[in-house]
Amino acid sequence: MTNRLGDKARLQHVHDAIHEIASMTEGYDEQKFIDDSKTRFACVFQLEVIGEACRHLSGEIKNEYSQISWSQVIGLRNIIAHEYFGIDYSQLWSIINKDLPELNTVITEMINKINR
């Protein structure tokens, strides 16, 4: 079942989730993000989607793009899914602003390569 959807669909899920987060947090600063529970919860869900989709990518594609710390992406999903009340929203804000744009660049490259 792991590869039922395939890498192309999983990468698109990651891409779409990153864009959802960017759209929801546009114009936000850290405090506004922390104060807005609806946006926080929606972003947490999208980060879970990203982690779950990455968990199901093939080993081949993960090896080809080893510059991504797949274990950290998947690990974040596990933390927010299983230790929900211990989420550090300041750290999530940092991930959203620093790590997701970098991840998006690579994910876009991966999708473009698959579509060639």
CA distance 36 to 5: 33
Q: Which is catalytic among the residues 15, 19, 82, 116? A: 82
Query: Tokens for 50?
Result: 């990203």
Can you tell me which residue has the tokens 């993960």? 62
Pinpoint the alpha helices (H) of the chain.
Answer: 6-25, 30-35, 37-55, 59-64, 70-82, 89-94, 100-115
Q: Which is catalytic among the residues 10, 13, 40, 77? A: 77
CA distance 93 to 13: 20
Whether 15 is catalytic is no
Active site residues: 77, 82
